[in-house]
Amino acid sequence: MTAQKLAAALQGKLIVSCQAPPGDPMRETTTLVRLAQSAVAGGGAAIRANEPAVVAAIVQAVDLPVIGLWKDGDIGVYITPTVRHALAVAEAGAAVVAADATDRPRPDGSTFAELVEAVHAAGALVMADVSTLEEGVEAARLGADFVSTTLSGYVPGTPKQTGPDLALVAALSAAIDIPVVAEGRVNTPEEAAEALRRGAHSVVVGTAITAPTALTARFVAGIARP
């Protein structure tokens, strides 16, 4: 699928992130496939999924574009950190490979530009996960097909917020010509709609839809307050 065709299919739409952290009871391929199928039934336009085996299973199970990534580790650059990881995700059938596009060093010494080139050669598109305006502008210059605000608030020096970084969404949308995806701490339908009003092309929602463990903990914490 071309970037233009996929962008048209995702404009103004919801992308559902079907992931679970290590140790979570939901972190099982069949369970994540069912989450993806539920997202399809609810009207989601695409699925974001982690690890090649899960990506491949979801690709086989749903008739929607899959944005794949491979988290390896939990510090530094760990979202699709190397060209090897990116190609494995593309080979699993992802239409789009999401990867860290921050200015931090990658563990294999490669550059984001090299990852983009390799993924495009493999026939997939690239979503650049960024934390700042400058990173998004640079990712677009280097050939990314989409830019996502995924890492704002999670990289040292970026603003800590309880909700999505709508200021970054607006700034990126005004600065670059490729689609900007709002991702990160989108907790309500109202926040998702506001992200679109601020210029987002589409919105990724994960925890608020597909994470019963985290949602249960949020309610438990809420009722425990005096």
Indicate the pTM of the whole model.
Answer: 0.97
pLDDT at residue 10 in the model: 98
pLDDT at residue 109 in the model: 95
pLDDT at residue 226 in the model: 66
| DSSP letters for 122-172 | TT-EEEEE-SSHHHHHHHHHTT-SEEE-TTTTTSTTSPP-SS--HHHHHHH
Averaged pLDDT for residues 5-15? 98
113-164 pLDDT, tens digit per residue, is 999 999 999 999 999 999 999 999 999 999 999 999 999 999 999 999 999 9
pLDDT at residue 200 in the model: 98
Q: Rounded to an integer, what distance in angstroms lies between the CA atom of residue 171 and that of residue 198?
A: 9
Residue showing tokens 């899959």: 66
Please tell me whether residue 38 adopts helix, strand or coil conformation.
helix
Strand bridging mode 66-69 / 46-50: parallel
Percent of the chain with pLDDT over 70: 100
58-76 pLDDT, tens digit per residue, is 999 999 999 999 999 989 9
Please tell me whether residue 15 adopts helix, strand or coil conformation.
strand
Would the pLDDT of 34 be above 70?
yes
Would the pLDDT of 46 be above 80?
yes
Percent of the chain with pLDDT over 90: 98
pLDDT at residue 1 in the model: 83
Q: Output the CA–CA distances (angstroms, integers) from residue 64 to 14, 46, 103, 143, 207, in the order listed.
A: 12, 5, 31, 24, 20
Which tokens belong to 16? Answer: 């559902």
